[in-house]
Amino acid sequence: MGRMIGILVVSLAVVLGVNWFLDSYIDQYVVRVINMCGISIILAVSLNVINGLCGQFSLGHAGFMAIGAYVSAWFTTTLRYFDEAQAKYVAIEPMFSSQWGFVPALIVGGIAAAIAGAVVGIPTLRLKGDYLAIATLGFGEIVTIMITNFETIGGANGLPGLPAYSNTFWIFAFVVIVVMFSWYLQRSTFGRALIAIRENELAAEVMGISASRMKVMAFIYGAFFAGIAGGLLGHLLQTISPATFNFMKSIEVVVMLVLGGLGSMTGAIVGAIVLTALPEALRDVESEIGLVGVRMVAYALVLILLMIFRPQGIFGQKELSLKLLGRLIPGRKSGNAGGEE
Amino acid sequence: MTSLLATEDLTIRFGGLTAVDGFCLKVHEGELFGLIGPNGAGKTTVFNMLTGVYLPSEGTVHCDGRLVNGMNPVQVARLGVSRTFQNIRLFDELSVLENAMTGAHQHSKINLFDSLFRTPRHYREEKRQRDIAYRLLEFMGLEDRAGLAAKQLPYGHRRKLEIARALATEPKLICLDEPAAGMNTGEKAELSALIRKIRDELKVTVLLIEHDMKLVMGICERIQVLDYGKTIALGTPKEIQNDPKVIEAYLGGE
Ligand SMILES: Nc1ncnc2c1ncn2[C@@H]1O[C@H](COP(=O)(O)OP(=O)(O)OP(=O)(O)O)[C@@H](O)[C@H]1O
Ligand SMILES: [Mg+2]
């Protein structure tokens, strides 16, 4: 535990330093891309616990994000509703009206999403594979439809005026937390239990591992951080609408995982960065050569090539380690005995 | 002697097929008991009913005096019944050691926060699981393979790892479903010694399904024979070997 706190403090200090550096010296557009990468990392790493470790194919991540975004906005943003009696819009002042309220608001958003995670997790326990994917997709759609019909939070038009509380520091503070927790989770009896369920559910149950409990736990964990990511995104974009969290967002996160290698946290991080930064990099190329749309073609091409040449994703299920690096660097003989096929 | 496991008129039907019919079994504590029969006799189906995988259509299963049917596999595991599978079911992507450690998961008393915040309880639990797993890998002769991924193990070792994993649940009763299948003569001899040691040293009662007659007759104290879901004989290896019904079932069956 002492070591954990040490790592956390050092990492947060580094994040603080990086935040200052980016703010002072780097172009705001680049900073924005970096921030978006951070949010993608939180999404991909948390979804990896559900889809990668536990093997439950969920397409509900955008729904959890939406809940986190709107619930946290509820605490930080001035809401307006139309009062019939006075025949005019009435403002509701936010509960937390300073920067100090941001983290509590994010956490409340995360908790709301986690509760939704339990609510989705329990009834979908009996579903597997495609059926689970469809049910979780349905959950995401229900969330966006409910938001659309809720005028106080902007309905279909979206909710403007979220304070710009998100910055590189907060985003990467949560990146550090989710990466650290997920790593610790993966390397614990709970992580092994999740992988056991993915590898062979019947054998896991016969060993006394309750698949239903572990699956709900995975959903709660993943949903919590998706909710946090939603809140961070909301306070970065400053305007959120149901369309921000439609099912394409869920699919985007799944694609990040598949690109990096389902089940590998390192893969999730790399996938998140590549798929967030690549479209931006290609945007420049696009304007350079004056061919609009090349971006999406190139994006699709990358995915198709990957599926052909490396269907298990960049990392497979491996984690980036010194051993793996040693093997990747040409000319350096790997001293690892267990790795041969 | 008290019976650790007792079934009464156990019956299961799949559509029109009665796979197991009025099956009665009494396994005493500390016994090494064999369950044999031709292919498709219903042996694996009996294991599935004993471990909560299938719900019997009729009849009861009692373990240690408690009613087992109606329990799910997790509850049965808690009760102290563990098993291996005829078609090996390991956690391929986990290491050999981690596979064995999953058996010890059910006795862990820590919660998720202990692991996320790396509390002393987390480290104590990891050590407990690692110690149990190592001890059983050593017992099964797999300790120098501990770091390999389970999928890298050769066939005979995979079967042994399944046994180690089942033993890591610290069961009272272990059900082995054809543990010698696919092993060569040398491996089989080693395995029968190990099964004896499981009972003698670890004090775990063993219920064994096995097609290799030499192995079964060599180590079991009592044997029950199933054919088409029905018990056709029960007795000591000697009695079974000379039973005309058993000879008939094996010779006429295939
Ligand atoms: N889930 C199921 N659905 C339908 N039929 C089943 C099911 N499980 C088992 N059976 C049938 O029950 C019968 C007994 O099967 P079981 O696997 O128990 O035999 P076994 O004695 O273990 O045979 P073997 O020695 O080949 O392993 C077979 O006819 C099998 O097809
Ligand atoms: Mg069988």
Nearest to A115 by CA among A214, A226, A36, A16: A226
Three-state SS sequence of chain A: CHHHHHHHHHHHHHHHHHHHHHHHHCCHHHHHHHHHHHHHHHHHHHHHHHHHHCCCCCCCHHHHHHHHHHHHHHHHCCEEEEECCCCEEEEECCCCCCHHHHHHHHHHHHHHHHHHHHHHHCHHHHCCHHHHHHHHHHHHHHHHHHHHCCHHHCHHHCECCCCCCCCHHHHHHHHHHHHHHHHHHHCCHHHHHHHHHHHCHHHHHHCCCCHHHHHHHHHHHHHHHHHHHHHHHHHHHCCECHHHHCHHHHHHHHHHHHHHCCCCHHHHHHHHHHHHHHHHHHHHHHHHHCCCCHHHHHHHHHHHHHHHHCCCCCCCCCCCCHHHHHHHCCCCCCCCCCCCC
Q: Say which residues have a Cβ less than 8 Å from residue A192's Cβ, sequence separation at least 6.
A: B91, B94, B98, B101, B102, B105
What pLDDT is attached to residue A288? 77
Ligand 1 nearest-atom number relative to CA B229: 14
Report, as an integer, the average pLDDT of A244-270. Answer: 91
Q: Does residue A29 carry a pLDDT above 70?
A: yes
- pLDDT tens-place string over residues A207-218: 999 999 999 999
Facing residues of B234 across strands? B224
Confidence of residue A261 (pLDDT cuts 50, 70, 90): confident
Q: Whose CA is nearest to atom 22 of ligand 1?
A: B44
* Model pLDDT, residue A332: 43
* pLDDT of A87 above 50: yes
Pick from B235, B200, B223: nearest CA to B37: B223
B57 contacts B45 by C-beta, under 8 angstroms: no
> Among A188, A206, A208, whose Cβ lies nearest the Cβ of B122?
A188
Across the range A163-187, mean pLDDT stands at: 95
Alpha-carbon distance values, A286 to A103, A282, A283, A292, A302 (Å): 38, 6, 5, 6, 16
When mean pLDDT is compared across A175-189, A320-334, B106-120, B153-167, the lowest value belongs to A320-334
Domains of chain A: 2-244 (1.10.3470)
pLDDT for the residue A337: 37
| C-alpha of residue B103 to centroid of ligand 2, in Å | 23
- A89 is written with which tokens? 């819009």
pLDDT band at residue A152 under the 50/70/90 scheme: confident
Mean pLDDT of B154-182: 95
Which ligand minimizes its atom distance to the CA of B46?
1
Taking the C-alpha atoms of residue A264 and residue A243, their distance in angstroms, rounded to an integer, is: 29
- pLDDT tens, A62-85? 999 999 999 999 999 887 777 777
* Confidence bin at A329 (pLDDT 50/70/90): low
pLDDT above 70 covers what percent of chain A? 94
Contact A117, A222 (CB under 8 A): yes
Give residue for tokens 């009913």: B49
Q: Is the dihedral of CA B225, B228, B232, B238 positive or negative?
A: negative
| Ligand located closest to B39 CA | 1
Instruction: Give the residue, A300 or A336, on which the prediction is more confident.
Output: A300
Task: Return the pLDDT at B212.
Answer: 92
Where along chain B do its domains lie?
1-80+171-254, 91-169
pLDDT category at A335 given cuts 50, 70, 90 is very low
B254 pLDDT above the threshold of 80: no
pLDDT, position A328: 56
CB contact under 8 Å between A189 and B110, yes or no, is: yes
Q: What is the pLDDT of residue B1?
A: 55
The answer to whether residues A91 and A78 touch, using CB atoms and an 8 Å cutoff, is: yes
The CATH class, in words, for B1-80+171-254 is: alpha beta
Q: How confident is the model at residue B134 (pLDDT cuts 50, 70, 90)?
A: very high
**Cβ-based neighbour number of residue A255 at 10 Å:** 16
Cα torsion angle, B177, B179, B185, B191, sign: negative
- A vs B: CB pairs below 8 A: 103
pLDDT of residue A85: 77
Measure the CA–CA gap between B248 and A264, rounded to whole angstroms. 55
Average pLDDT for A123-144: 86
Average pLDDT, chain A: 87
Taking each helix axis from N to C end, the angle separating B155-167 and B185-200, rounded to the nearest 10 degrees, works out to 10
Residue A145's contacts (CB-CB under 8 Å, 6 or more residues apart) are A242
B24 at interface of A, judged by CB pairs closer than 8 A: no
Pocket test for ligand 1, best of B25, B45, B175, B254 (most atoms within 8 A of CB): B45
Of A266, A201, A255, A198, the residue nearest A59 (C-alpha): A255
Give the pTM.
0.91
Nearest CA among A203, A210, A190, A191 for reference residue B82? A203
Average pLDDT for residues B99-126, to the nearest whole number? Answer: 95
Residue A167, CA distances (Å) to A30, A95, A172, A276 in order: 13, 21, 8, 17
Query: By three-state DSSP, how is residue B14 classified?
Result: strand
Which ligand does the CA of B253 lie closest to?
1
State which ligand 1 atom lies nearest to the alpha carbon of B37: 21
pLDDT in the model for residue A326: 59
pLDDT in tens, A269-327: 999 999 899 888 887 777 777 777 776 777 778 778 887 888 788 777 777 765 666 55
Exposure of A61 by Cβ count < 10 A (0-12 exposed, 13-18 middle, 19+ buried)? buried
Q: Is the CB of B42 under 6 A from ligand 1?
A: yes
Q: Residue A178: name the closest of A133, A211, A235, A227 by CA.
A: A227
Contacts by A198-204, CB closer than 8 A, 24 or more apart: A198/A53, A198/A54, A198/A55, A198/A263, A198/B93, A199/A55, A199/B90, A199/B91, A199/B92, A199/B93, A199/B94, A200/B89, A200/B90, A200/B91, A202/B53, A202/B73, A202/B89, A203/B85, A203/B89, A203/B90, A203/B91, A204/B91, A204/B102
Reported confidence tier of residue A341, pLDDT bands at 50, 70, 90 = very low
Per-residue pLDDT tens digits for B195-253? 999 999 999 999 999 999 999 999 999 999 999 999 999 999 999 998 989 888 887 64
* Cα A105 to averaged position of ligand 2 atoms, centre (Å): 56
Which pLDDT belongs to residue B113?
Answer: 95
Nearest CA in chain B to A212: B74
Helix axis angle for A247-260 and A294-309, nearest 10°, is 50
How does the average pLDDT of chain B come out, rounded?
94
Q: Strands, E, within chain B: which ranges?
A: 3-14, 17-28, 32-36, 58-63, 66-67, 81-83, 173-177, 205-209, 222-227, 230-235
Q: What is the ipTM of this complex?
A: 0.94
